[in-house]
């Protein structure tokens, strides 16, 4: 069910991206294009946050409660890497 909502959001974002492409093809005003790009960026960040939240509430909690130390370390390392990558972008 949650996946369906995420896919729906991404398809909406895809539509907005196609709209931006159309704006560029029609030589739209640059600031208007930038505003649309910012809206898509914000929407993608929202989807990313929701996916991360779901991951934390499922995979990470399972790993932390589990007895497998290597799995716990792996999952925590992944979370750290995600935040490191977001700072590079």
Question: 22-73: per-residue pLDDT in tens?
Answer: 999 999 999 999 999 999 999 999 999 999 999 999 999 999 999 999 999 9
Residues in the chain: 89
Crossing angle for the helix pair 2-25 and 30-55, to the nearest 10 degrees: 160
Q: How many whole angstroms separate alpha carbon 73 and alpha carbon 47?
A: 25
Q: How many whole angstroms separate alpha carbon 35 and alpha carbon 26?
A: 16
Looking up tokens 């910012």 gives: 38
Query: Quick one: 2-88 is in which CATH superfamily?
Result: Metal-sensitive repressor, helix protomer (1.20.58.1000)
Q: Is the pLDDT of residue 89 over 80?
A: no
Could you give the dihedral angle defined by the CA atoms of residues 61, 6, 18 and 36, in that order, rounded to the nearest 10 degrees? -70
Where are the chain's structural domains?
A: 2-88
Looking up tokens 């977001």 gives: 86
């Amino acid at each position: 069910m949650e996946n369906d909502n995420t896919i729906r959001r991404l398809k909406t974002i895809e539509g907005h991206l196609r709209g931006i492409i159309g704006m560029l093809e029609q030589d739209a005003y640059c600031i208007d294009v930038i505003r649309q790009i910012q809206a898509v960026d914000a929407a993608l960040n929202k989807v990313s946050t929701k996916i991360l939240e779901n991951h934390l509430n499922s995979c990470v909690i399972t790993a932390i409660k589990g007895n497998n130390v290597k799995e716990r370390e792996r999952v925590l390392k992944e979370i750290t890497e995600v935040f490191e990558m977001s700072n590079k972008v």
